[in-house]
Structure 1
Amino acid sequence: MWREIKVLLLDHNEERSHDLKVILDFIGEETIVCKEGDLDGITKDHESGSITCAIISQLDNTDKIAEYLVDWDPTLPIILLDASELSAEADEELRKAVIATIETPPNYTKMMDTLHRAQVYKDHMKADPARAQRREAQLFRSLVGTSRSIVQVRELMAQVADKDVNVLITGESGTGKEVVARNLHYNSHRRHKPFVPVNCGAIPQELLESELFGHEKGAFTGAITSRPGRFELAEGGTIFLDEIGDMPLHMQVKLLRVLQERTFERVGGAKTYQADVRVIAATHQNLEEHISEGKFREDLYYRINVFPIEMPPLRERTEDIPLLLNELVARIENEKRGSIRFNSAAIMALCRHEWPGNVRELANLVERLVITHPYGVIGVSDLPKRFRHVDDIDEDREMPLEVAETGMLPGYVSMDTPALLPVNGIDLKEYLSNLECNLIRQALDDCNGIVARAAEKLKIRRTTLVEKMRKYDLNRA
């Protein structure tokens, strides 16, 4: 080998792990033999990046073990033993971390080659930190947008994700409150424990206590066996209480005790259970109004509202619609379910829609259009009637300013994403002229019409900017 390496060996078969350690010791490599239950101790005793590779056998939760290790050290390559494999649900980034499978007893040449590949992989990942952090970035990919409101939401999430405090997410239905909750969980140290969602408004009031805290056998008619509740299922992880504004008052009292004492009892039982659970709540209702009306407890409100996050409605961030369309279409393409494109008039119409169903409504529209117009270019006439806020005769008109200025129109150029050529092609000269004109207009607006400052912002000479303003008939203010 070109330098000494350190191998983490995780195998439930003691005889096989002993034989592998003997082989690795023989070729002069340091081996750490670990059982599944000792993994936390190993990661605490060793710095992230200090282990060259991990060799894992088939376990009941191979996916979770591999994900835990890659989260601990994003540069760590995984080697599987014998018939071990990840499940079909494992994400693509985790699969890329699995560089090889070796059979036991291993062939000497194959073993040396695999360890060499592990070194190359680790060095490559260390040299490309952005790639190593891609899994972390993926957590926020559902919260697409460049508007101030959604950027602020992402900033708040980054601040609170790894803090063990209760979070209250507010916003209209369809704005992505559960997406935020899941991202907070998977960005926290609880990511390897369960995320348990509960819709408080969808469960009958008389069953909600049993659903949350469980029940003992015979606690009520029909309780033929004992059953754990959602708090037990979420032990060590996160429970997401969606539509908490619909929770009845008697349940609010019981929830308040859980938040204060971190203990609870099952319905019909006397045993006290500990609740090591982070609580994230969400509602589309105004809880302060509910408090004044006597429908929601004020003390519970302050318990769950330690860190508030408000999700903006889609109608207040229409500049994000082109980005959201790109993301939704890209997902459909990745799932091999087809593809579509939108022309500028169709996007103009969508930007003028009120979106009472918010992002969920937009996603459902894209799904429908992919089915009805597979691989087509969507114009205004292809949209359902209630989305046609632009006349068909406007199809060839210039795109709306608020869309053009983002540079994020599907099929057009942006500074942060690669350009996608529309299916039906593009008039490049006209597009570049429109782009230049809109960027100049935006720079002038940002600088209150002061040409010298706008020229500095665009990194061109003042005289050049004046000539371009004449060309596009742009005024200073």
Structure 2
Amino acid sequence: LLKVLDHGELRRVGGVRSITVDVRVIVATNRDVDELVRAGRLREDLLHRVDVIRITMPPLRDRPEDIPRFVTHVLTMQQRRGLGEKKVTPQAMRVLQSYAWPGNVRELANTIERLLILSPRTTIDVDDLPENLHFRKPPAAMTDERYLSLAELERRHILRVLETTGGNMTAAAKRLGVDRGTLHRKMQQWQGHGAQMGSA
């Protein structure tokens, strides 16, 4: 690797001839590379070779002004995938901007995808947001799960698991013991029958 970075040449395993390559190397990490060097976990000479232009990207919690643009981008991309066209109200956007997003951009993207699937309306409002994003809502009058249908119990359990995974469908599917496709199909069914399921 060092030879490639220094001279733009490599040699295949077992080969005898050097091959010239013309590539641009982009390195990304969420770790403190200087600390890794001090701890002996990253070669200093390798860092010096790739550390030509360093761009530090602050976590999402430190740049809430970027969240509306990112939400718009995710909505557009998911719309192209056929999840429908929806908008986020200014009130809901303020809640999204006030959340710390410990899972960073991935958590935000998963949350928006989940809202697109589960929200029965064309507008995503504060009431549609997961409870972990803002104050916990007071329990409804009928919260005794003994009187709920099996389908509603399943729905509530899946939503709780999704909340614990920050909206990550792959992690939620693993915890639920189903594949991601099965979970995705269930959520699409709820999108089509959101009003009925929500009132059960």
With the shorter chain as reference, the TM-score category is 0.5 to 0.7
- 100, 111, 117: which one aligns with 1:354: 100
Match status 1:289 vs 2:50: no
Return 5+ residue gaps in structure 1 as ranges.
1-254, 393-477
Q: Post-superposition shift, 1:306?
A: 0.6
Once the two structures are superposed, residues 246-270 of structure 1 have per-residue CA deviations (whole angstroms, 9 ceiling, x without a partner) of xxxxxxxxx1121112212122322
What is the CA–CA distance in structure 2 between the aligned matches of 1:278 and 1:327, rounded to whole Å? Answer: 27
The structure 2 residue matched to 1:324, chosen from 66, 70, 76, is 70
Q: CA RMSD in A?
A: 2.1
CA distance in 1, matches of 2:38, 2:23: 29
CA deviations 1:388-432 (Å, max 9, x no partner) are: 24868xxxxxxxxxxxxxxxxxxxxxxxxxxxxxxxxxxxxxxxx
Residue 313 in structure 1 maps to residue 59 in structure 2 = yes
Alignment of 1:442-453 (within 5 A): none
Alignment partners' CA distance in 2, 1:278 and 1:344: 41
Q: Match of 1:316, as an amino acid?
A: D
Identify, as 1 or 2, the structure richer in strand. Answer: 1
Question: How big is the shift at 1:370?
Answer: 0.9
**2: CA distance, partners of 1:341 / 1:390:** 23
Q: 1:263 aligns with which of 9, 16, 35?
A: 9
SS at match of 2:100: coil
The code of the aligned residue for 2:60 comes to L
Give the partner amino acid of 1:332: Q
How much does 1:286 deviate?
Answer: 0.9
**Which structure exhibits the higher relative contact order, with contacts defined as CA atoms closer than 8 Å and separated by 6 or more residues?**
2
Paired AA for residue 342 in structure 1: V
Aligned-residue offset at 1:307: 0.9
| Unaligned residue ranges in structure 2 (runs of 5+) | 139-200
Determine the C-alpha separation between the residues in 2 that align with 1:327 and 1:389.
26
| 1:345 maps to 2:91 | yes
Please give the secondary structure, in 1, of the residue aligned with 2:26. strand
Q: Which SS does the other structure have where 1:309 is aligned? A: coil
More helix by share: 2
Count of aligned pairs between the two proteins: 138
Q: Is the 8 A contact 1:259 1:303 kept in 2?
A: yes
TM-score of the superposed pair, with normalisation by structure 1: 0.27
Aligned partners of 2:105, 2:121: CA distance in 1, in Å?
A: 22
> Given residue 353 of structure 1, which amino acid in structure 2 is its aligned partner?
Y
Contact map agreement 2:131 2:137 (CA 8 A) in 1: no
CA shift in 2, pair 1:389/1:344, >3 Å: farther
For residue 309 of structure 1, report the CA deviation from its aligned partner. 1.2
Matching residue's letter, 2:36: H
Whole-Å separation in 1 of the counterparts to 2:77 and 2:39: 44
**Aligned equivalent of 1:382:** 128
Q: Aligned equivalents of 1:309 and 1:299: distance in 2?
A: 19
What is the aligned partner in structure 2 of residue 64 from structure 1? Answer: none
1:300 equivalent among 34, 39, 46:
46
- In 1, the alpha carbon distance for the partners of 2:26 and 2:61 equals 25
Q: Give 1:333 deviation, angstroms.
A: 3.0
Q: Is the 8 A contact 1:345 1:390 kept in 2?
A: no
TM-score by length of 2: 0.61
In the alignment, which residue of structure 1 is the partner of 2:26?
280
Of all paired residues, the percent bearing the same amino acid is 41
Superimposed CA distance per residue, residues 230-249 of structure 1 (whole angstroms, 9 cap, x where no aligned partner): xxxxxxxxxxxxxxxxxxxx
- Does the Cα contact within 8 Å between 2:89 and 2:123 map onto a contact in 1? yes
